[in-house]
Amino acid sequence: MPIGLIGTGLLGSAMAARFLARGMPVVAWDCDPGALAEVRDLGAIAAKSADEVASRTPVLVLSLPHSGISALVLEEIGQHLLSRALVIDTTTGRPEEMAAFAKRLAARGVLYVDATVGGNSTQVLAGEVIALVGGEANAFQQARSVLDTFARRVFHLGQAGAGARMKLVLNLALGLNRAVMAEALRFAAASGCDPALALEILKEGPAYSRVMDIKGERMLRRHYPAEARLSQHLKDVRLILEEGERLGAPLPLSAVHRELLEAAEALGFGHSDNSAVLEAYYGKTK
């Protein structure tokens, strides 16, 4: 039984590799021919359209830049979805919008879960991420075997939209951890301390966080091959601030974080790894 995949960027292509490694055929589509060619080279079937993916696969995984694009794709493929199909949406998007997707698809007899991913594409390849899932219990149970192919732990958090809400909480803390490390390393360099030694001490002391293991060396070398793009995280921070405003929850640190990411993006690091937030502290273009 093939799995459909719409969106073959960094995260989508990593999931495709995991599916294929488990012997699960993949039918994929992306608007970027280069990204689609990459998963075809892995062994996936390259579809000619999103409609074709929906019409050929009972389980459809979405891995898209934001829920606005998910809305467009779901509208386009709606009439092509197979009866009793399951849509697993790994997109980080607006929680209320994703809850609305589930309601609309349920009226057509289609199951939907928002299954956001905690971790980057390299961690997906290694099966080291977590999955944060919102949706009906039946939909979650059907999605579980797919999620288990790439997630070391899967959390069912409630109705549709719950996974997206928790992903914003996770990304708030994760992004600020990266920003704090960037600021500390820049301060160390300005103070005449060896940044490499500073990173070693940070890892050994009470300030330690796992992002130091994953992103620290990239910041030291100021080399940012993308595992998760900076512009994509900026989109998430803007969503976080939107939700905070809607809920009346003050998020002053996230507001500063947005400014740092916007500065790094303006310097040309939007498509670089999100560890390039460090460049906001140097203010130099690529």
Question: DSSP readout, 218-264?
Answer: HHHHT----SSBHHHHHHHHHHHHHHHHHHT---HHHHHHHHHHHHH
CATH superfamily of 165-281: N-(1-d-carboxylethyl)-l-norvaline Dehydrogenase; domain 2 (1.10.1040.10)
* 90 close to 65: Cβ distance less than 8 angstroms: no
Number of H helices, E strands in the chain: 12, 8
Is residue 284 predicted with pLDDT exceeding 90?
Answer: no
Query: Residue 31 gets which letter from DSSP?
Result: S
d(CA 68, CA 266): 23
Residues of the chain with CATH 1.10.1040.10: 165-281
Region 3-159: CATH code: 3.40.50.720
- The per-residue pLDDT for 121 is 95
pLDDT digits (tens, 9 = 90+) for 59-118: 999 999 999 999 999 999 999 999 899 999 999 999 999 999 999 999 999 999 999 999
From first CA to last CA, the distance across the chain in angstroms is 45
pLDDT digits (tens, 9 = 90+) for 212-241: 999 999 999 999 999 999 999 999 999 999
Strand order of the sheet with strand 45-46? 45-46, 26-29, 3-6, 59-62, 86-89, 111-118, 129-134, 151-156
Average pLDDT, the chain: 96
- The per-residue pLDDT for 120 is 93
Residues of the chain with CATH 3.40.50.720: 3-159
Helices 230-247 and 162-190, packing angle to 10 deg: 120
φ and ψ at residue 241, rounded to 5 degrees: -70, -35
Place of tokens 């092509």: 80
Distance of CA 118 to the CA centre of its chain: 7
d(CA 208, CA 188): 16
Work out the average pLDDT over 122-130: 97
CA distances from 160 to 86, 92, 167 (A): 13, 13, 13
Is residue 14 predicted with pLDDT exceeding 90?
Answer: yes
